[in-house]
Amino acid sequence: MDDIQSHTTSADALVLFGVTGDLAYKKIFPALYAMARRGVLNVPVIGVAASPWSLAKLRKHVRDAIEKSGEIDDETALDHLLSLLSYVSGDYNDPGTFKALKNALGDARRPTHYLAIPPTLFETVVLELGVVGLAEQARVIIEKPFGRDLASARELNRILRSVFAEDAIFRIDHFLGKEAIMNILYFRFANTFLEPVWNRNYVASVQITLSEAFGVQGRGAFYESVGCLRDVVQNHLFQIVALLAMEPPAYQGFGAVHAEKHKIFRAMRPLEPGDLVRGQYAGYRQEPGVAEDSDVETFCALRLFIDSWRWQGVPWYLRSGKCLAGTAAEILVELKPPPQRLFDDSIPANGRANYLRFRLSPRTAVALAARVKRAGKTFTGDQRELFLLDEQSDKEAPYERLLGDAIVGDGALFAREQCIEASWAVVEPVLTEHHQVESYKAGSWGPKAADDLIAADGGWHNPSA
């Protein structure tokens, strides 16, 4: 969906705060290299951090990061990226650091500032950018989490809006840059056959699973401050729900998409403790940085309702967790069975009615389950899938796509202020009022209570490899 407005101008510099950190090393540098390979990175890249590094050390750091992410197959592109680099060393609490940055920018007047730094530093950096005049025609990119509850999200947005216009704020969530997520929007509104059945009259339930077969991988201290509900559900899974549930946008453009997504978040019924199951994998409390009596969830399952004309009464089941039986992301939209049993097996006693299945990862696919008659005189059949595997080579990685979009000012795939606050309002009631975590075995599909939550609607569909 093309919505780069005619007055939008591309940035003339990229400022990377936190250039010596993990995020830059693992995600941003490989994305910049990929952009250089495609010939679309042509602005100065100014790194800012407290470490007293030389430019030579930064360049070596960037080369190491790209080597670790995969084979360097274009030395010319890498040399081009390294030639664009410069470095400003200084404390974010020191106004002199921002004056040095202004000098380093030289004639650049439309920088994009990427805050790849802890959220506790957002306010300091944003306000200082405003003080030294580096925000007037600039953009700012911030990483999730966008707050940790409704109040902190509102405060973060207040700080950002005190310096930057909303259209200049790019809240980056790598999940929104995935090709499979974008395909949900396209598949829904590019195909005529879907719309007549995409409502409460034909859809029995929707379930979304985002599972990981690994644990917190040494990030126990971080996870203790976040938990699965904040880390994955309130943002990633809710964004998927919004794309599946939204009404058709009124016009071509990301503004229309954001408006319809906001309506879905507003229509979501606030969660109650009985709607939420929290789990914790056995062994989590032995992870470094985790409290011995931790009640932080590494697994969430919830039942959600959207109080709109289209979706009234349809349950949406969401679950995500670590140390589960597989790593996958999948959506199952189960349709209601035929209204009359014309054939003995047309409404399966055990098993699912017709459904539409979106596989988001590890392979992208769309499948439609339909019943087909067996050969012979009897009217019996089997349910089979019409399966479309959509594996595309040389597709852009999420950070590459999103970083490029932010530089040119395309906000289609970024989270907006209203949507973030509305989604926090849905989970706000259960952030502190909830049942204790239930332990589950690593390699399973989570605690038993999660199965009980969805039992009335046929149970969970467990993604296969």
Characterize the bridge pairing of strands 315-321 and 299-305. Answer: antiparallel
Question: What is the distance between the alpha carbons of residues 253 and 5, in angstroms, rounded to a whole number?
Answer: 9
Residue 304, both tokens: 């959600």
Helix (H, G, I), strand (E, B) or coil at 374: coil
Mark out the alpha helices in 165-250 (DSSP H runs). Answer: 179-190, 220-224, 227-228, 238-245
Question: What is the distance between the alpha carbons of residues 300 and 447, in angstroms, rounded to a whole number?
Answer: 9
Is position 461 annotated as part of the catalytic site? no
Question: What is the distance between the alpha carbons of residues 251 and 260, in angstroms, rounded to a whole number?
Answer: 11
One of 61, 174, 236, 262 is an active-site residue; which one?
236
Residue 85, both tokens: 């680099």
**Which whole-number Å values give the CA distances from 312 to 57, 267, 302, in the listed order?**
58, 10, 17
Residue type, 279: G
Characterize the bridge pairing of strands 139-143 and 169-172. Answer: parallel
**Which whole-number Å values give the CA distances from 37 to 24, 40, 394, 400, 406, in the listed order?**
18, 8, 12, 11, 18
**Which whole-number Å values give the CA distances from 315 to 102, 111, 208, 237, in the listed order?**
52, 45, 11, 15
From its phi and psi, is residue 356 left (phi > 0), alpha (psi between -120 and 50) or beta? beta
Task: Kindly tell me the burial class for residue 417, based on how many C-beta atoms sit within 10 Å of its own C-beta (0-12, 13-18, 19 or more).
Answer: buried
CA dihedral (362, 363, 369, 372) positive or negative: negative
CA dihedral (284, 290, 295, 300) positive or negative: negative
Residue type, 150: L
Question: What is the distance between the alpha carbons of residues 125 and 116, in angstroms, rounded to a whole number?
Answer: 11
Question: What is the distance between the alpha carbons of residues 365 and 360, in angstroms, rounded to a whole number?
Answer: 7
Which residues are identified as catalytic? 236
